[in-house]
Amino acid sequence: MNEIKSPRPLRKKRLGNVKACDSLSSRLDQVDANRSAVHAACEGIISVNAKQQIVMVNPAALQMFSYAEAQVIGQDLQRLIPPEQRAHHAEMVRAFLVSDQSEQAITDQDGLLGLRANGDVFPISLILSKSHSMVERGQAKPLFTALVRDLSVEQGLRSELAGIKNQFRRLFELAPVAMLITEEEIIVFANRSCLGLLGAKSLDQVIGKPVYHLIHSDSHAVMNQQIKRAVGVAAGSLCTMTEKVTRMDGSHRLVEIAIATMPGLEKSTVQMVLSDVTLQEQESLELQQSRHELRRLSASLIDTREEERRRIARELHDELGQRLSALKMDLSEVGAELHGRASQTRVVSMLDMLDATMASVRHIAADLRPLMLDDLGLYAAIEWLAREFERRMGLKVTVRLGHDEPQMDPRTSTALYRMVQESLTNVARHAHATAVEIDLGVEGKELVLTVQDNGVGFAAKALRKEGSFGLLGMRERALLLEGQMQADNTLFGGRIRVRLPLPRQLPRSQLQMPTMPWEQAPEEQPAFAANADASKEML
Report helix, strand or coil for 271: strand
Spell out the alpha helix ranges (H) of 276-433.
278-315, 321-337, 343-368, 371-375, 378-393, 410-426
- Give Cα separations from 526 to 315, 318, 522, 529 (angstroms): 12, 12, 9, 6
pLDDT in tens, 340-369: 677 778 888 888 888 888 888 887 877 787
Residues with pLDDT less than 50, the chain: 1-7, 10, 13, 15, 18, 24, 28, 33, 506-539
The number of angstroms, rounded, from the C-alpha of 107 to the middle of its chain's C-alpha atoms is 50
- Give Cα separations from 68 to 134, 284, 422 (angstroms): 22, 78, 98
User: What integer pLDDT is reported at residue 383 of this predicted model?
Assistant: 93
User: What integer pLDDT is reported at residue 371 of this predicted model?
Assistant: 77
Cα–Cα distance, 172 to 180 (Å, whole number): 9
User: What integer pLDDT is reported at residue 137 of this predicted model?
Assistant: 54
Please report, as a single letter, which amino acid is at residue 27: R
Q: Would the pTM of this model clear 0.75, i.e. be above it? A: no
Strand partners, 501: 446
Cα–Cα distance, 274 to 255 (Å, whole number): 6
pLDDT in tens, 295-313: 788 878 877 887 888 788 7
Task: Please give the order of strands across the beta sheet that includes 435-443.
Answer: 396-401, 435-443, 446-453, 494-501, 484-489
